[in-house]
Amino acid sequence: MKILVVGCGKIGTTIIDSLSAEGHDVTAIDRIPSVLEEITNIYDVMGVCGNGADHDVLKEAGVENADLFVAVTDSDDNNMLSCFLARRLGARHTIARIRNPEYNDQSLGFLKKNLGLSMAINPEQMAAQELHDLLKFPSAVKVETFSQRNFEMIEFKLRENSALDGLRLSEMRTQYKGKFLVCGVERGTEVYIPDGSFVLKSGDKIILTATPSELQKLLRELGVLQKKARRVMILGGSRTAFYLARLLETAGNSVTLIEKDAALAQELSAQLTKTVVIRGDGSQQELLLEEDITAQDALVALTGMDEENILMSIFAASQNVPKVIAKINRDELAQLAESLGLESIVSPRKIVSDVLVRYARALQNSMGSSMETLYQLMDGKAEALEFLVRDEPGVVGIPLKDLNIKPNTLIGGIVRDRKTLIPTGNDMILSGDRVVVLAANQRLHDLSDILK
């Protein structure tokens, strides 16, 4: 497909990277020549220098032939205007980055309808929701939800002397009676879609699928279930911090937010009436100790500097804070943080990248099943996808044991009439089902892609 991306900042660059890797014909638009030159040197994309809200610039980029137009500059207003013009000039689908809480709270539906937007994305709000899910399920390294939160997939690391160390998956299903499925294992640099003979080892990162209640039950039996984080300390007063604090307030959590900018701290204090907002430097260990960091259930580092987030997360872990989460956007620093023992890392730009890749794949396939959700797991080595099944010849109405499914592919769950099934070989996929599939080292566009 032909895709135009306006804005080559952190979010835009990640989107360009993901979409070009998918094989799309991508054109990047940015005002700054040096930024555009770097993008076109690194990625196999075309570049047009100029304002994405300028008629002539859009025409030069070939907007009239664009299947998808994505505007992710730092300006909400510019993004919306760019999408409006792109739609008028012939772009089939438009997506705008809209970050302002006022737009998202009050008038987003009106804006989407009148600007002809296919979708509005808010990276900070998406990141806040992911953080909130992790704080509800602190035992997990990563939590992904499907089918309107009726079904969950978690990444979970096996500690030293884990009860699962040396256990075959077939034995695990016998020993622990819950309805769950281990559908992925990362060991070192390798990712496996395991069968019943696979033997787990301490240090493995595994992917579990089940309903929320079944996951809680299993982790409790394993003796690793952590209570929900009730007392949460947030470092940094970013938009992500604002959205997260608001979610936590609504859920009845006790929240402390530390921000060193006086004006921003005052503004947040006025907006977050149930959050204790402290003006101070969250990178100062003395301040954190003074604010009783050791009494917190969780610390979430959301400053604008990845390095600072890593250092303060390590300090919090050294103070035995049960759950520590850091926002890290740079891949090389995320890998460093993981090597230093930080397990829970959130990247807003990767969250947005998943959404855009899913949308682009869904546009490519409008005939068969509909892709509802896509998540990249285990450092991008695996993907979890949710499909809404329509008429799917060769898949529907056939026992799973009789399907000729590709290697490194697994059906992790079926949601039927809001009931979740952990499938066995005798189960069948029916029209109207939502099916969750895990695939390693390959890309799926449609449910039928699981077949050889």
**Are 235 and 292 within one domain?**
yes
pLDDT tens readout for residues 87-110? 999 999 999 999 887 776 667 777
Domain range for 300 is 230-321
Residue 127 lies in a domain: no
Least confident of 7-11, 175-179, 182-186, 306-310: 175-179
More confident: 369 or 219: 219
Q: If pLDDT is split at 50, 70 and 90, which confidence band does 224 have?
A: confident
Q: Which of 163 and 66 is assigned the larger pLDDT?
A: 66
Mapping DSSP to helix (H, G, I), strand (E, B) and coil, where does residue 414 land?
Answer: strand
Total number of domains in the chain: 4
On whether both 238 and 316 belong to a single domain, the answer is yes
Same domain, 173 and 253: no
> Buried b vs exposed e over 316-339: b needs ≥16 C-beta within 10 Å?
bbeeebbbbbbbbbeeebbeebbe
* pLDDT over 70 (residue 301): yes
Q: Kindly report, residue by residue over 338-357, the tens digit of the pLDDT.
A: 888 888 999 988 889 888 98
Tell whether 280 and 169 lie within a shared domain: no
For the record, the structure tokens of 415 come out as 């949601």
Task: Check whether residue 58 and residue 89 sit in a common domain.
Answer: yes
201 and 237 fall within a common domain = no
Last residue of a domain, one of 196, 222, 248: 222
117 and 187 part of one domain: no
Is residue 344 included in any domain, yes or no?
Answer: no
What's the CATH number where 428 sits? 3.30.70.1450
What percent of the chain is predicted at pLDDT more than 70? Answer: 98
pLDDT the model gives residue 272: 95
Tens of pLDDT, residues 362-411: 787 654 567 888 888 887 889 999 998 987 788 999 999 999 999 999 99
13 shares its domain with 116: yes
What pLDDT is stored for residue 104 in this prediction?
65
- 209 in the same domain as 238: no
CA–CA separation, 265 and 277 (whole Å): 7
**What pLDDT sits at residue 82?**
96
pLDDT at position 366 is 52
User: What pLDDT is recorded for position 368?
Assistant: 55
Please indicate, yes or no, if residue 131 is contained in any of the structural domains.
no
Domain boundary among 297, 321, 345: 321
Decide if 126 is inside a domain: no
Does any domain span residue 81?
Answer: yes
Q: Residue 228's pLDDT band (boundaries 50, 70, 90)?
A: confident
368 and 443 part of one domain: yes
Distance between first and last Cα of the chain:
25
Pick the last residue of a domain from 175, 198, 222.
Answer: 222
Whether residue 161 is contained in a domain is answered as yes
> Do the domain assignments include residue 291?
yes
What letter represents residue 96's amino acid?
A
pLDDT of residue 444: 87
pLDDT at residue 364, rounded to an integer:
74
Average pLDDT of the residues in 324-332:
91
Tell me what pLDDT residue 106 has. 63
Distance between CA 10 and CA 430 in Å, rounded?
Answer: 41
pLDDT for position 331: 82
Q: Which residues contact 187 (CB under 8 A, 6 or more apart)?
A: 201, 203, 204, 205
User: How many Å separate Cα 319 from the centre of its chain?
Assistant: 28
| 262 in the same domain as 201 | no
Q: What CATH number corresponds to the domain at position 256?
A: 3.40.50.720
Question: Closest by alpha carbon to 435, among 393, 395, 382?
Answer: 395
Same domain (yes/no): 269, 295: yes
In a domain? residue 95: yes
Average pLDDT, the chain: 90
The reported pLDDT for the residue numbered 446 is: 85
